[in-house]
Structure 1
Amino acid sequence: SSAPAKTGVVVVGGGLAGLAAAIRLQEEKVPYVLLEASDGVGGRVRTDFVDGFTLDRGFQIFITAYPEARKLIDYETLDLQRFYSGATVFFDGGFHTVADPLRHLSDALRSLANPVGTAVDKFLIGLTRIRVTAFSDEEIFRGDDSKTIELLNRIGFSDSILDRFFRPFFGGIFFDPELETTSRLFNFVFKCLALGDSTLPKNGISAIPEQLAAKLDPGSIRLNSRVISIDSDSENNTVLKLHNGEILQPSLGTILAVEESEALALLSVEAPPKKPFRSTVCIYFSTDAAKVPTDDPILFLNGSSHGIVNNMFFATNVAPSYAPPGKALVSVSLIGSYPDVEDEELADRVLNELGCWFGDEAVSSWSLLKIYRIDYAQPNQSPPSELLKDPKVREGLYVCGDYVANATFDGALVSGRRAAEALLK
């Protein structure tokens, strides 16, 4: 076989972590090549453009207060479209809004009497907001590591607010309605929500990785380039083999920026008994803009503790650019992957359920656009959790990804930078 092609650093994977690693290498003028198996950068952060609709692959929200993102991303260019700070809960046949008191005081005061929790619960939300914003991220990530549900119980929240607000809201962020995710991640995300806006980029969530990729030397990014094995030669140099038979030998190191299961497979590591991944299904419907039952740019939560819908929103109320003129885009999220239910049946069940929310007439005009089943939406980050793992596997080999840090956009970006910095040492 031909001699392996020598290269500087090889970054395997063009998701947020791989892009952040490559940006850090480029800042230090270290030669690198980034290999991405698919036809575009972004990893799980991708958008499809179908008949004039902007379809993010799964329910993804960009929170502007993410600290690493603020350093790397030009928000202005993304033209971020904001959600209302709060949520509307469907419960007992009606809608009830939970509002951020610092941004929507009159709504928050009106919500004191609604059945989504007690007035004490709403006071405790305010106290929790003050508590989380008083800590640095470092303190949060090294702090209490219990299940989120245990933390919320300790704070003293009632079952009604846990079931009607916290489970669907944070369960929808972590794809974990049991709220077994570490309290460290809850505290971090709650802090970011308190300090920033929840948004969608005007041109879809993939605008974020595309902006990062645009900072890189285009000649250093290779798409449709799947790495199938990582081995060591007789002199202990790392050797990578690509699906087309090409062999690369990184002279300066390898950064593995792929999902955890893929990393373990490439490294032929005996996988430790794993906590199950977090899965989700995202269903998109289109309808006429005139038939949308509300124009609020708000997240709707299922607070009823039954049914399969966890949360939904009218994407075009947040970002009108997500649909062609005169049309509206509806985004519905389920938790879990529903492998035994066919697409059509799943869509019908969702429409029946949402008919109870908005009225059958409003929902009857919705037509199914696309269903995304995302088996690996996030790593499972229930305790014991380590949200600042050492990226070094062995000399010259480093890993990054949300599973190495925390399961947010920010965690992926931080882990990419930290892997590059560990390699540069």
Structure 2
Amino acid sequence: MPDVIVIGAGLAGLRCAGLLSARGLDVVVLEAADAVGGRQRTDIVDGFRLDRGFQVLNPAYPALRRSVDLDALALGSFPVGVRVRTAEGMAELRHPLRYPQSIAASLRSGLVNTRDAVALARWATPALVHPLSRLARNDVAVREGWDAVGLRGPLRTAVLEPFLSGVLAESRGETSNTFARLLVRYFVLGCPGLPAQGIAAVPEQLAAHARTTGTDVRLSVRAGRITALGEQIRVEVSEGDSVSAARVVVAVGPDAVTDLTELARPATNGLQTWWFAAAEPPTASALLTVDGRGHGPVVNTVVMTHTVPSYAPAGRHLIAATCLLPRGGDPAEELEVRRHLSGIWGSDISEWELIRRDDITDALPAQPAPLGAARSPRYAERLYVAGDHRDTASIQGALASGERAAHAVLSDAGYSSSATPLRR
């Protein structure tokens, strides 16, 4: 009988399993899908690498740096900035400290004025100098946070709102002001990018490490009813006999956690990604592009192959376009997406080939104000829960939650604590 069963081979589950098996526990991971990764999956389609929805990886995440060998991922880094389609044309705003030569162009863009720049600094600076606990005091929605510092001009309406709507998967400004500042801190400190082999390289590395330390990862095995039997917990599975262990960690996504526990279904936000192939790119820029004119449905678009050429076959380019996917609303259709993309890029895209459309209903857990403390992994006697819906809606949150669950299991099992301080 194994010591621990981990249900779910996403980032939280794999990180938890790897830490437990490294301490000598006998760990079995049950994963319903045919590969590890959860929401971090990559498919090869006609020679193109398509992640399950547009994603980025920020090497500034503390839990990521603790968990994986970043050098082995061969990250391609996006430029730290954004291109904005305006009524007058295309403008670029870049990180002023990393690209000081871009400051003059930013000022000429009409998107930045002194009042907005001061207000943005007033809003963002505390995230760079204060701990999360202090930032979270008197938390409000991000729209209220911007109002409070006087950020109301085009830097907000044409840049920050469209940019963050794609990051947060919502456009109403309801997300926690503290969480938005936390993400901006990571953007300032890191250079987000993608592994050469796709976002799936992250869970694959975690799985390889877990297997090396003794974890048994079983794919295409769907966990069912969980029953406590004295000092054991039994997990029924879709195929074969049930599996029992001394402890169980439920590390599934927000869409599946209610199938295995009595927890309420976490609220989530959805995203839709369109993947297009083209012989010629619409721009030489690798910057993420947004529409500052308030048009939709596309919230951002980018030429992936300018940052990660391995995402497309030689001589071809891959363009991603992301839209919000409102729960209960109508998803964007190809005709309107193409029309909007043509307006953003200012070019004819009729020859672009649609490779795939990804509708990710539960792309991210919703993160409304006030931002609460990370939830305890302890759910019941010998039963634990992990995932980004228990922490923050990010890769950082998923990994940190997996770590927290592993430390709880070790502590309850009587192992001496060797916990690394965990930061959100």
Report the TM-score, using the length of structure 2 for normalisation: 0.92
| Aligned ranges 1:78-227 → 2 under 5 Å | 78-137=73-132, 139-140=134-135, 142-217=136-211, 220-227=216-223
Q: How far has the Cα of 1:340 moved from its partner?
A: 7.1
1:294 aligns with 2:277: no
Give the C-alpha shift of residue 95 in structure 1: 1.2
Give 1:403's aligned residue. 389
Structure 1 residues 387 and 88, CA gap change in structure 2 (3 angstroms)? farther
Among candidates 398, 410, 417, match of residue 424 of structure 1: 410
Alpha carbon RMSD of aligned pairs, Å? 1.9
Following TM superposition, by how much is the alpha carbon of 1:231 offset from its aligned partner in structure 2, in angstroms? Answer: 1.9
- Compared CA separation, residues 261 and 187, structure 1 to 2 (3 A): same
Q: Distance in 2 between matches of 1:312 and 1:200?
A: 15
Please say which of residues 22-31 and 43-52 is displaced more in the overlay.
22-31
Between 40-49 and 128-137, report the one with greater CA deviation: 128-137
Which letter maps to 2:218?
Answer: R
Distance change (3 Å), C-alpha of 1:278 and 1:23: same
User: Is residue 281 from structure 1 mapped to residue 272 from structure 2 by the alignment?
Assistant: yes
Alignment length (residue pairs):
409
Distance 1:56 1:172 in 2: 16
Q: 2:264 matched to 1:271? A: yes
Q: Give the AA of the match of 1:168.
A: P
Name the stretch that deviates more: 370-379 or 330-339. 330-339
| 1:360 CA displacement | 4.2
Contact 1:94/1:357 (<8 A) preserved = no
Letter paired with 2:368: S
* Residues 82 and 200 in structure 1, CA contact (< 8 A), matched pair in contact too: yes
Structure 1 stretch displaced more, 125-134 or 253-262: 125-134
Paired amino acid for 1:298: L
Stretch of structure 1 that moved more, 15-24 or 181-190: 181-190
- SS at structure 2 position matched to 1:62: coil
SS of residue in 2 equivalent to 1:356 = helix
Deviations 1:128-147 (A, max 9, x none): 4432111234544x544211
Any conservation in 2 of the 1:117–1:158 contact (CA below 8 Å)?
no
The aligned counterpart of 2:37 is 42
Q: Partner residue of 1:355? A: 342
In structure 2, runs of 5+ residues without a counterpart are 412-424
User: More displaced, 110-119 or 37-46?
Assistant: 110-119
SS at match of 1:335: strand
Preserved contact between residue 53 and residue 322 of structure 1 (Cα < 8 Å): yes
Q: Deviations over 1:237-287 (max 9, x none)?
A: 421100114211112x111001234222212x2637x64x20010000000
Q: Which whole-Å deviations, capped at 9, do the CAs of 1:159-188 have from their partners, x for residues lacking one? A: 422221111111111101112111221121
**What is the TM-score normalised by the length of structure 1?**
0.91
Any idea what SS the aligned residue of 2:389 has?
A: coil
Name the residue aligned to 1:3. none
Q: Partner residue of 2:380? A: 394
Distance change >3 Å, CA 159–CA 126, structure 1 → 2:
closer
Contact 1:112 1:119 in 2 (8 A): no
Shift of 1:124: 3.4
3-state secondary structure, aligned to 1:393 = strand
1:337 and 1:373 in contact (8 A); partners too: no
Where in structure 1 are there 5+ consecutive unaligned residues? 1-5
Closer/same/farther in 2, CA of residues 199 and 242 from structure 1, 3 Å limit: same
- TM-superposed CA distance for 1:98, in Å, is 1.7
The one-letter amino acid of 1:44's match is: R
Rate the CA distance shift 1:139–1:70 in 2: closer, same or farther, 3 A. Answer: farther
Partner of 1:384: 370
